[in-house]
Amino acid sequence: MKRFIYPLLSAAIMLSAATTQAADKPKLVIYTYDAFAADWGPAPAVKKAFEPVCGCEVQFVATDSSIGILRKIQLEGASTKADIALGLDTNLTAIARDTGLFTEHGASSASLKLPVAWNDPVFMPFDYGYFSFVYDSDKVKSAPKSFDELLNMPEDFKIVIQDPRSSTPGLGLLLWVRQIYGDKAPEVWKKLKPRILTITKGWSEAYGLFLKGEAEMALSYTTSPAYHMIAEKKHNYRAAGFTDGHYMQVEVAAVVKASKQKALAQKFMAFMVTPAFQDIIPTTNWMYPAAAGKALPGGFDKLHTPAKALLMSGKDVAKNRKAWVQEWLDSVGK
Amino acid sequence: MGAGVAGQRRQISPALRWVTDISWRPGVIIALGLLGLVTVVFIAILGVGSTVGSSDTSGIGQILMITFIQAGLSTVFSLIVGILLAWSLRHRQQFPGRRLLLSVLSTSMVLPTLVVALGLVDVFGRRGWWNALIDLAGPGFDLATVSIYGLGGIVLAHTYMDAPFIARGLLHRLENIPAEHFKLARGLGLTPWQRFRNVEWPALVPAIPGQCLVVFLLSFTSFAIVLMIGGSPRFNTLEVAIYEAIKLEFDLPRAVALALVQLFVCAALVLLTMSLRSGNILQAVRRPAPMWPEPRFTLIMQWLVIALFTLFFVTPLIAVTLNGVGADFVRLAGTATFRLALVSSLWLASVSALLAIALALFMASSQRHFTSRLRSKPSPMNKLYRGLLTFSGTVYLAVPALVLGLGFFLLARSFLDDLTAVAPVALIAANVMMALPFALVILTPAMGKAADKYDRLAFSLDLHGWARWRLIEWPVLRQDLGYLLALTFCLSLGDLGVIALFGGQGFATLPWLLFQHMGSYRTADAAGIALVLLTLCLAVFFIVPRLFEGRTRAET
């Protein structure tokens, strides 16, 4: 048996060693979430665009989720290999700031064109989107236009949502409801409950169920229909625009304090808000670019643009999240 | 008694002698090693826990209660379905596609849960095939409309995944009942029920507690299914709270405390099953089963059970296949990532499966040493050792993958600078621990059987080492080993919980790739990868056990 295992093991080690061979150029290591680092995600194009500019090698390291990036750097502490954390969202920034693991990006926020004012010395946005319910217009003829309308839909009008404890959109919906209804949020959840088909661990399961036609709507992003229009040429998926406004997700990056390549990392942060990076975002990450670039690709013009962008401060979220999640559990889980 | 045991040892392969002869030490050392590893993992996590652990234990009692009910129901249904299926298949030995059916049954447990869950939704979902059929049947059949979301759905999904494992294990027990027993039953004119009660049930009983323990713990720690099919956080398991503590709160002491609660439940259940487990009854090495015509009613029932459960188990897999066939396999196979994931998955699974079975053989060998009267005298120490072996062999089912992955990560980091090379080792370790419970549940009774039946003869002939393995263990175990190799291989094709923190360039597994596609709208590609996984598992379950079957049928 040993004869069988050793060649396999050594082959594996060689395989992994081959990918880590050192180059003469400085190496910029960026921790991100797996969808960003995927072959079809923004990472390959970003690497190709930045490497000639910096004369360096860019390496993306994928973790399983947005929060996974932060936790990995936290666990690695001062010995982390990461120069940049890319893909944290606004709900995490307060927690991330408190860890003291990140330092100033030194880049100008002038080119940003977010629907909300942004001036943060540590966290620099690279894209944003709005949470929204997505429906199939072939099946749903009149989608709700506000939370009130959703609450008054017949009970067999089902939605699939994600658990706020394990999923970013799930937490987004929790904050969305909270921001609109304040302390009345528990009542809203109780009223919504009969229309919730199920609550999944992550976005994938919920969207999968929706695509199978199990539910009339799934919690996703206003930009989701763009994927179906551009990549699949399907025009029947729509985001349900709510007059209450839509809760935002702003995705940010930050320079790791322990980085030995701070100058290079800061150079990347400045590059991140230039068109060379921003133009990659719409059709690879299916979000809105955070800064000025060329015109959005066709299909994005057909998306619902929320009249009102909602966003809580990261501090409020960090302070109240636990209580709000418990409140949510009490309203939906009993 | 045991005179031959002390006999001279002059054999070629010491490792084999350990397995086949009398030594109980390697198995106990492995068991202690695994428990040690788990302990070190916990300590490593606590070492990082700079945050003050919240002592908030509210709600844990309620989570535990609901989870006990859910896991209990899942176990009971899996057991009922498993017994019915095993019994029917035992008596209907020959029909076209029987072998394929056995392979198909085995796949439901090893596919990624997300794939299985979506397949089940295709069939039993709100817009599933079943409800479409009811719609066609007309308004009079409204009552037959099903909703998969809720406790019933969770139990259905767990039964779907776990009953085949029970059925396979029990079928083998039934097939090994000595032909004389059936002849006697027939001579006495026993009805099928009396035959079941007096001949077949006693053969099943010793295997049931161990199998139920595995199924219960699987249901007890279920995560994605419980959320996706459960419909409400009411049915959440502790696993969800552990995930929350690690990922969201980064409250590691709390995560460890919750994981310890799961370990405690596991330990209590191990104790319980040990007190339930009666000794092995005599079983034959597989012989051609005598077949007599069954009463008409029994015959109809057996065919009905086989037909219904075939339909139940096969339709979701057909759904998975139909979803997947449309994928662009040429483009998919052309990507470097896919090929890398395929190759990584295959070699990881091969290494993990062989290691898991090797460890399981040692542990099962120790276990039988402490149960066999010929090999050791009953004593409290024996019981302790047996408890240790069983607990250590099932411990992974109670340790969340996330906790294990985190622990491995911290351990690796404190020794090594570059973690890329450690990722495969961590993955193999996790795979082996995950596969051990399944391997032990099947190997322990089988090894015990070999000892009970042949020890006296083997000891008196001073038969040991390679000769004993070839003449005694191999014929008894080969079939089980074939099935286990297939099972552990497929189980190890890709573990998701452990890879998360080690992720980087140049390393991927098929399930990981599947999730990555699914997480970025690429549903068609994800369905294609699911079909590749399904085909791979089916092929392995179809081919590997056959390689191990050899001439068994002709041996009598």
pLDDT (0 to 100) of residue A3: 43
Is A217 contained in some domain?
yes
Q: How confident is the model at residue A327 (pLDDT cuts 50, 70, 90)?
A: very high
Higher pLDDT, B5 or B155: B155
Q: How confident is the model at residue B185 (pLDDT cuts 50, 70, 90)?
A: confident
If asked whether residues A312 and A280 sit together in one domain, one would say no
Write the CA distances from A332 to A192, A279, B312, B476, integer angstroms: 9, 41, 32, 53
Asked if A201's CB is within 8 angstroms of B224's CB, the reply is: yes
pTM of the predicted model over 0.90? no
Helix (H) or strand (E) run with residue B446 in it: helix B422-460
What average pLDDT does this structure show over A263-276?
A: 96
Q: How confident is the model at residue B2 (pLDDT cuts 50, 70, 90)?
A: very low
Q: If DSSP states are collapsed to H, E and C, what string results for chain A?
A: CHHHHHHHHHHHHHHHHHHCCCCCCCEEEEEEEHHHHCCCCCHHHHHHHHHHHHCCEEEEEEECCHHHHHHHHHHHHHHCCCCEEEEEEHHHHHHHHHHCCEECCCCCCCCECCCCCCCCCCCEEEEEEEEEEEEECCCCCCCCCCHHHHHCCCCCCCEEEECCCCCHHHHHHHHHHHHHHHHHHHHHHHHHHHHEEEEECCHHHHHHHHHCCCCCEEEEECCHHHHHHHCCCCCCEEEECCCCCEEEEEEEEEEECCCCCHHHHHHHHHHHCCHHHHCCHHHHHCCEECECCCCCCCCHHHCCCCCCEECCCHHHHHHHHHHHHHHHHHHHCC
Asked if A209's CB is within 8 angstroms of B121's CB, the reply is: yes
d(CA A16, CA B426): 14
Asked if A286's CB is within 8 angstroms of B228's CB, the reply is: no
CB–CB contacts below 8 A, A to B: 168
Query: For residue B316, what are its two tokens?
Result: 């979701």
Of A34, A75, A329, the CB nearest to B519: A34
What average pLDDT does this structure show over A256-268?
A: 95
Of the candidates A233, A247, A167, the residue with the CA atom closest to the CA atom of residue A205? A167
Q: Using a CB–CB cutoff of 8 Å, tell me whether A322 touches chain B.
A: yes
What whole-number percentage of chain A has pLDDT above 70?
93
Q: Using a CB–CB cutoff of 8 Å, tell me whether A67 touches chain B.
A: yes
d(CA A329, CA A323): 10
pLDDT (0 to 100) of residue B556: 35
pLDDT digits (tens, 9 = 90+) for B126-138: 989 998 888 888 8
Asked if A201's CB is within 8 angstroms of B248's CB, the reply is: no
Residue B4 pLDDT greater than 70, yes or no? no
Is A117 contained in some domain?
yes
What average pLDDT does this structure show over A223-246?
A: 95
Is A10 contained in some domain?
no
When mean pLDDT is compared across A130-134, B418-422, B490-494, the lowest value belongs to B418-422
d(CA B13, CA B19): 10
- The listed range with the strongest mean pLDDT (B149-163, B202-216, B392-406, B484-498) is B149-163
Q: Which residue of B has its CA nearest to A171?
A: B248
When mean pLDDT is compared across A314-323, B380-389, B435-444, the lowest value belongs to B380-389
If asked whether residues A151 and A270 sit together in one domain, one would say no
What average pLDDT does this structure show over A159-183?
A: 93
Q: Using a CB–CB cutoff of 8 Å, tell me whether B527 touches chain A.
A: no
Q: Mean pLDDT in chain B?
A: 82
If asked whether residues A297 and A309 sit together in one domain, one would say no
| Best mutation target, B45, B243, B248, to test chain A (most A CBs within 10 A) | B248
Q: How confident is the model at residue A254 (pLDDT cuts 50, 70, 90)?
A: very high
Q: How confident is the model at residue A244 (pLDDT cuts 50, 70, 90)?
A: very high
What whole-number percentage of chain A has pLDDT above 90?
73
If asked whether residues A83 and A138 sit together in one domain, one would say no
d(CA A226, CA A129): 12
If asked whether residues A157 and A225 sit together in one domain, one would say yes
CB proximity list for B43: less than 8 A, separation 6 or greater = none
Q: Look up the domain containing A106 and give its range.
A: 21-128+249-302
CB contacts of A16 in chain B (<8 Å) are: 420-421, 423-424, 506-507
pLDDT (0 to 100) of residue A14: 45
Is A3 contained in some domain?
no
pLDDT (0 to 100) of residue B376: 72
Asked if B127's CB is within 8 angstroms of A214's CB, the reply is: yes
Q: Tell me, what CATH number does A124's domain have?
A: 3.40.190.10
Is A4 contained in some domain?
no
Asked if B227's CB is within 8 angstroms of A209's CB, the reply is: no
Q: Using a CB–CB cutoff of 8 Å, tell me whether B98 touches chain A.
A: no
d(CA A143, CA A88): 32
Higher pLDDT, B198 or A23: B198
- The listed range with the strongest mean pLDDT (A27-31, B292-296, B433-437, B461-465) is A27-31
Is A2 contained in some domain?
no
Beta bridge partners of A63: A33
Q: How far is B504 from chain A (nearest CA, A)?
A: 5
Q: Are the C-beta atoms of A286 and A226 separated by less than 8 Å? A: yes
* Number of domains, chain A: 2
pLDDT (0 to 100) of residue B419: 66
Higher pLDDT, B536 or B506: B536
Residue A185 pLDDT greater than 80, yes or no? yes
Q: Are the C-beta atoms of A46 and A277 separated by less than 8 Å? A: yes
Query: For residue B505, what are its two tokens?
Result: 């360039």
Higher pLDDT, A55 or B498: A55
Higher pLDDT, B238 or A134: A134
When mean pLDDT is compared across A77-86, A167-176, A288-297, B221-230, the lowest value belongs to B221-230
CB proximity list for B236: less than 8 A, separation 6 or greater = A333, B63, B66, B67, B226, B227, B230
What average pLDDT does this structure show over A144-157?
A: 95
If asked whether residues A224 and A275 sit together in one domain, one would say no
Q: Mean pLDDT in chain A?
A: 90
d(CA B385, CA A88): 49
If asked whether residues A323 and A194 sit together in one domain, one would say yes
Q: Are the C-beta atoms of B436 and B428 separated by less than 8 Å? A: no
When mean pLDDT is compared across A222-226, B75-79, B107-111, B162-166, the lowest value belongs to B107-111
- The listed range with the strongest mean pLDDT (A210-219, B50-59, B175-184, B336-345) is A210-219
If asked whether residues A95 and A136 sit together in one domain, one would say no
Residue B500 pLDDT greater than 70, yes or no? no
Residue A7 pLDDT greater than 50, yes or no? no
pLDDT digits (tens, 9 = 90+) for B406-459: 888 888 877 776 666 777 888 888 889 888 988 988 888 888 878 778 878 888
What average pLDDT does this structure show over A141-165?
A: 94
Amino acid type, B349: A
CB contacts of B516 in chain A (<8 Å) are: 34-35, 38
Asked if B240's CB is within 8 angstroms of A165's CB, the reply is: yes
pLDDT (0 to 100) of residue B455: 79
d(CA A119, CA A121): 7
Residue A302 pLDDT greater than 50, yes or no? yes
If asked whether residues A102 and A121 sit together in one domain, one would say yes
Domains of chain B: 64-315 (1.10.3720.10)
Write the CA distances from B153 to B118, B148, B158, B160, B226, integer angstroms: 12, 4, 8, 10, 9
| Best mutation target, A3, A72, A204, A327, to test chain B (most B CBs within 10 A) | A204
Q: How far is B182 from chain A (nearest CA, A)?
A: 41
Residue A260 pLDDT greater than 60, yes or no? yes
Helix, strand or coil for residue B417?
coil
If asked whether residues A234 and A254 sit together in one domain, one would say no
d(CA B508, CA B339): 10
CB contacts of A64 in chain B (<8 Å) are: 500, 503
Is A9 contained in some domain?
no
If asked whether residues A93 and A233 sit together in one domain, one would say no
ipTM summary value: 0.84
Residue B53 pLDDT greater than 90, yes or no? no
What whole-number percentage of chain B has pLDDT above 90?
24
Higher pLDDT, B58 or B122: B122
pLDDT (0 to 100) of residue A76: 85
When mean pLDDT is compared across A86-95, A294-303, B359-368, B456-465, the lowest value belongs to B456-465
Q: Using a CB–CB cutoff of 8 Å, tell me whether A320 touches chain B.
A: no
Is A15 contained in some domain?
no
Residue A73, CB-side half-sphere exposure with 13 Å CA sphere: 32
User: How many residues comprise chain B?
Assistant: 556
Residue B242 pLDDT greater than 80, yes or no? yes
Please name the residues between 80 and 119 in chain A that touch chain B, using a CB distance below 8 Å.
Answer: none
Q: Are the C-beta atoms of A54 and A269 separated by less than 8 Å? A: no
pLDDT (0 to 100) of residue B87: 93
pLDDT (0 to 100) of residue A6: 46
Asked if A211's CB is within 8 angstroms of B519's CB, the reply is: no
pLDDT digits (tens, 9 = 90+) for B63-106: 899 999 999 999 999 999 999 999 999 988 888 888 889 888 88
Angle at the Cα of B458 from the Cα atoms of B452 and B462, rounded to 5 degrees:
150
If asked whether residues A72 and A43 sit together in one domain, one would say yes
Residue A166 pLDDT greater than 90, yes or no? no
